[in-house]
Structure 1
Amino acid sequence: MGGSQFRPVYHPAGHDNDLRVAVQDLRTGRWVSMAQLLARTPDWALWTQRTQVLAAVAAGSDVVQAWRAEEPDSLAAAVMHTRVAVERAVRAHRGGHPRTRELWQEAWEACRLTAHASPADPVPWVCLLALSLLDEHAQMEEHRLAPPGPMLPPGPWGLLAEADKRDPHNREAYHRMLQFMYARSRGPLSEAFNFVQWAAGSAPPGSALHVMPLYVRVERYRRERGQERALDLHWVAEDAVRDAQHALHTWFLLTATDLASPLDLNHLAHALWGALHFGDAARVFEALGPYWTTHPWAFRTRDPADQALAEEVFVRARARSLAGRD
């Protein structure tokens, strides 16, 4: 596809064609495709990823409630009920909704019930990590446990350990922990940097945790927009280039990217393009195909809320990278 003909596509399923079908059916109020998809999902990592995407779509409807009414003994339906309850509580908190505390309590109870009903599943623990963001002052003891290593802050480490025990290096669990750290850091993000380096340092080759340092760099870039500095130098600094190359060689080149998170692929393409490593960036853009995500591209625009501007940056970065292939 040439630059003039290329049109990027936003879809949370990315290359996961089966998930895309289930999402489409969800949007029309049908749950059978979702149930069938989850029944044949082969591992906890993909199960976590798919239930997260499905819940984001289902949270605005009663489709999961309808599924539970039809199949009250379905564990998958119980997991999706929990996912939707957590998604609604998080959205309510983000929007300052007066029912936030009530929705939070309902979601917390759903997590505990599902964890008991499906003890091998990491998702209830991932969901409890998501809810930890709502405890802004860490009043719950489980949200201020001592960390497992130096240079790390107190936090919901027990919840992360429970998710990790069920699915080692679960991508969403570690990203939820990172969000917890963002929420408690108004400064230079040193604790978040320490966390992602610690997480990546223990992750095996091929793990998506090797991409996490790129997310913290984007967050730092976002927070520093108001400062008078040559912001593009942020991406060509030696440590930024090293993080981008590390993610390329320890994750991208060692994993099947057809079911990878579109966000991870976009962050890696963005980092390599920003580091002026256009040939490497082109390989990631080719793996992405047409699929793009608003972040991190939005933070390279004058108005991060304008999706059209973010799309322009993505298209421009892609064209420059493909033109720069060796």
Structure 2
Amino acid sequence: MMRPVYHPAGTDEALGIALVELQAGRWRPTRDLLAATGARWALRTARTQVLAVTAARSDVVGVWLAEEPESYDAQVMRARVSVERALRAHHQRHASAAAIEEEARHAALMAAHREPRDPVPWVCLLALAQVDVHQVRREHRDGSTEPMMPTGPWGLLHGVSQRDPYNREAFHRVFQFMLAREAPPAASLAAVFDFGRWVASWSPAGSPLLLLPLYALVEQSRRQSLQDRADPLWRRQWAEAPTIRYTLNAFHHWFRQPDTTPHSVTDLHHLAYGLWAAHQFVEAAEVFTALGPYAAREPWASVHDNPNLPDGGETLLLRARREAMSFARTHAPGATSPG
């Protein structure tokens, strides 16, 4: 049986090496990794986000800045780390959350001023929008060009899109903002459904944003499980329109498209779950094969229906993988039937 591997770097081996060094307090491999990443903005955004989660636990970026105060990559990592700490402080309702948020905002603005081409500082500003649940700041209550969308940080999203169109993290940050803002739960869930469908309707082939409708549906399941209102028929809708259409569209026009940027492991697991739940076992097996041993907590933790199992999400993941791979062995094109 496959032993799931939970690793923030996923299939990005170069990032995995830098993370090990960063955990040990050594920042030079991170500097070299970001230098090698260059202006590949999607990859730079993904790598700096993962690096910041690890770096936020220590002062390793502060040490880097002290030794190379003119390094822009060190400055942008300071912004990343500051935002990560601000989000944690907000969720933990820390007494200094407001001050930590202000520090993060300042670091992001400094980085944006230093390198106007880089989308990462704008992504940092966008991430902080979810802290402003009452939409006090003017930039968090802009009107959208799409009439059905609520007010939000659309100007900040536009700032990212000017630098890196279809930036994955930027749109997921707006998704999180909609869930966090002060609104009735049903209204915020309806907004993310509308947002996911809207974005998927114009995202190009090869874009992971084609998966946003799947994320919205998983959020619905997560909220139901928190309220102990699991719907026994919930999984059935994955095999029905329009959900199956979104799932297969993401499979054919994102997963199967050539791409030199490593896919997000969490994105791949959302796709694998959607295909398995829709009984598209051959396609699900193809995604599981691409994942290898790499696992993600979501969506499995939000969609399993056995609250008595502490590892119910992993149990469902292994079951889905086993069923998909077993089916594909005899039903995939070119497979040899037993006997």
**Range into which the TM-score falls when normalised by the shorter chain:** over 0.9
Query: Please, which moves more after superposition, 269-278 or 190-199?
Result: 190-199
Q: Is the contact made by 1:25 and 1:31 (CA closer than 8 Å) also made in structure 2? A: yes
For structure 2, which runs of at least 5 residues remain unmatched after alignment?
Answer: 332-339
Match of 1:87 in 2: 84
> Is the Cα contact below 8 Å between 1:298 and 1:306 reproduced in 2?
no
1:251 alignment partner in structure 2: 254
Give the structure-1-normalised TM-score. Answer: 0.95
Distance 2:129 2:230 in 1: 34
Residues 18 and 37 in structure 1, CA contact (< 8 A), matched pair in contact too:
yes
Is the contact between residue 298 and residue 304 of structure 1 (CA under 8 Å) also seen in structure 2? no
Distance 1:154-1:304 versus aligned 2 partners, 3 A rule? farther
The answer to whether the Cα contact below 8 Å between 2:230 and 2:305 also exists between their aligned partners in 1 is no
79-88 vs 227-236, which moves further? 227-236
Return the letter of the residue paired with 2:60: V
Opposite residue 114 of structure 2, the aligned amino acid is A
**Structure 1 stretches of 5 or more lacking a match?**
none
Match of 2:172 in 1: 175
Q: List per-residue Cα deviations over 1:70-105 (Å, max 9, x = no partner).
A: 111100000000000000000000111111001000
**Could you tell me which residue of structure 1 aligns to residue 62 of structure 2?**
65
Whole-Å Cα distance in 2 between the matches of residues 71 and 317 of structure 1?
48
The equivalent position to 1:137 in structure 2, one of 130, 134, 139, is 134
Q: Displacement of 1:195 after TM fit?
A: 1.2
Q: Distance between the aligned counterparts of 2:231 and 2:168, measured in 1?
A: 33
Specify the alignment match of 1:37 in structure 2. 33
Contact 1:257 1:287 in 2 (8 A): no
Amino acid corresponding to residue 293 of structure 1 in structure 2 = A
Matched residue, 1:106: 103
AA matched with 2:294: Y
Q: Which residue of 2 aligns with 1:291?
A: 294
Are 2:108 and 2:122, in contact at CA under 8 Å, matched by a contact in 1?
A: yes
1:34 alignment partner AA: T
Count of residue pairs brought into register by the alignment: 322
- The 5 A counterparts of 1:157-236 are 157-184=154-181, 185=183, 186-187=185-186, 189-225=189-225, 226-227=228-229, 229-230=231-232, 231-236=234-239
Distance 2:25 2:238 in 1: 43
Superposed CA RMSD: 1.6
Cα separation, partners in 2 of 1:55 and 1:202, compared to 1, 3 Å = same
Determine the structure 1 residue equivalent to 2:327: 324
Change (3 A) 1:196 1:304: farther
Contact 1:104 1:131 in 2 (8 A): yes
Runs of at least 4 residues off by over 6 Å: 303-307
Superposition deviation, residue 193 in structure 1:
1.5
Amino acid at match of 2:186: G
Aligned with residue 126 of structure 1, among 109, 112, 123: 123
Counterpart for residue 267 of structure 1: 270
- Tell me the secondary structure at the aligned position of residue 146 of structure 1: coil
Contact 1:205 1:251 in 2 (8 A): yes
CA contact (8 A) 1:304 1:310 kept: no
- Relative to 1, partners in 2 of residues 1:228 and 1:220: Cα closer, same or farther, differing over 3 Å? closer
| C-alpha displacement of 1:228 | 5.9
2:241 alignment partner in structure 1: 238
Correspondence 1:8 to 2:11: no
C-alpha change, 1:322 and 1:258, in structure 2 (3 Å) is: farther
**CA 1:303–1:176 in structure 2 vs 1: closer, same or farther (change >3 Å)?**
farther
Q: Distance in 1 between matches of 2:206 and 2:50?
A: 22
Q: Could you tell me whether the CA contact under 8 Å between 2:300 and 2:317 is conserved in 1?
A: yes
Q: Residue 301 of structure 1: CA displacement? A: 3.0
Q: What is the match of residue 335 of structure 2?
A: none
The amino acid across from 1:187 in the alignment is A
Indicate the residue corresponding to 2:336 in structure 1: none
Q: Name the amino acid aligned to 1:320.
A: E
Report % sequence identity: 46
Instruction: Judge which range, 257-266 or 44-53, deviates more.
Output: 257-266
* In 1: Cα distance, 2:63 partner to 2:46 partner: 22
* 1:161-204 per-position Cα deviation (integer Å, ceiling 9, x unaligned): 00000000000000000101111351062221221222222221
Instruction: Select 2:16's aligned residue among 20, 36, 41.
Output: 20
Contact 2:43 2:261 in 1 (8 A): no
Q: For residue 303 of structure 1, report the CA deviation from its aligned partner.
A: 6.7
Amino acid at match of 2:143: A
Cα pair distance change 1:157/1:258, threshold 3 Å: closer
